[in-house]
Structure 1
């Protein structure tokens, strides 16, 4: 005679989680690299900028003509000065609150908050400034290169 040992409910949950992780890992190993490319967060290379931000290029080359997609991380308490870009840029706020202003007169007290989940269009050749106040903010920026920036003329 033999006895069947039934695992407790917490043990069964752990077993189910472990099995699903194994199945998930096996399925991920079978992905065709010609069909899909995945970069996990620890594989995204961030580069520090003098402005107090960091950039990670996901697609394309912002310094050359053509489509690009970048992540931009504004560090807390850093803003840009008034500037313009030659092409429209399409921005999604992924985390934090982004602060934006328009015009050549830089006034950080006039910055308006843009919360996570928002979508913003910066129109080409129009002057703006932006950044982060009390928290880091991550943006996804999509545009056509070259993604140059021209400081606004001083008034």
Structure 2
């Protein structure tokens, strides 16, 4: 009985060791302070001027990711949707968001630093930034954006 238990434990350990590298690749450990964030040009799916920093995961692949966007003053993102739930946390500045396809500034809600917006997949919304603002997106990849008016898609002008 003791020999069987030892063999079973050895087999279980070998199985766990063989699974560990794959598990580690899917889940990464990240700790970052604001000074650790490095910025690069935003994705081509957003109007020019945005900067981005991926803090966790990979927006192009299936799975959870966290990305920050730094949006300059006088920046707009026309009405669009995303294919998955999206949670936006305002890190600094003010994030003005309008729900639906109407981009009337009077209908927008100002979300202050520390505020959160959570949207279900396919929720049309638009964004207006008056001052430099940093937001953090927490969602699942692959990340996508579909503009309500295809002519608004900045990828069409490249």
TM-score by length of 2: 0.67
Instruction: Specify whether residues 95 and 84 from structure 1 end up closer, same or farther in structure 2 by C-alpha distance, changes over 3 A only.
Output: same
Q: How far does residue 108 in structure 1 lie from its aligned partner after superposition? A: 3.6
Instruction: Specify whether residues 109 and 53 from structure 1 end up closer, same or farther in structure 2 by C-alpha distance, changes over 3 A only.
Output: farther
CA contact (8 A) 2:30 2:55 kept: no
Structure 1 or 2, whichever has the larger Rg, is 1
Q: How far does residue 109 in structure 1 lie from its aligned partner after superposition? A: 4.3
For residues 71 and 30 of structure 2, the distance between their equivalents in structure 1, rounded to whole angstroms, comes to: 26
Find 2:38's aligned residue among 45, 49, 56: 45
Question: What's 1:147 paired with?
Answer: 143
CA contact (8 A) 1:52 1:79 kept: no
Question: What's 1:56 paired with?
Answer: 53
Structure 1 residue ranges without an equivalent (≥5): 1-35
Question: What's 2:122 paired with?
Answer: 125
Size of the aligned set, in residue pairs, is 119
For residues 119 and 105 of structure 1, the distance between their equivalents in structure 2, rounded to whole angstroms, comes to: 21
Q: How far does residue 110 in structure 1 lie from its aligned partner after superposition? A: 3.0
Structure with the higher fraction of residues in helix conformation = 2
Q: How far does residue 90 in structure 1 lie from its aligned partner after superposition? A: 1.1
Instruction: Specify whether residues 117 and 42 from structure 1 end up closer, same or farther in structure 2 by C-alpha distance, changes over 3 A only.
Output: closer
Q: Does 1:91 align with 2:91?
A: no
Structure 1 ranges of 4+ moved more than 4 A: none
Question: What's 2:133 paired with?
Answer: 137
Q: How far does residue 37 in structure 1 lie from its aligned partner after superposition? A: 4.8
- With 80-89 and 39-48 compared, the bigger mean Cα shift is at 39-48
Q: How far does residue 111 in structure 1 lie from its aligned partner after superposition? A: 2.3
> SS of the residue aligned with 1:81?
strand
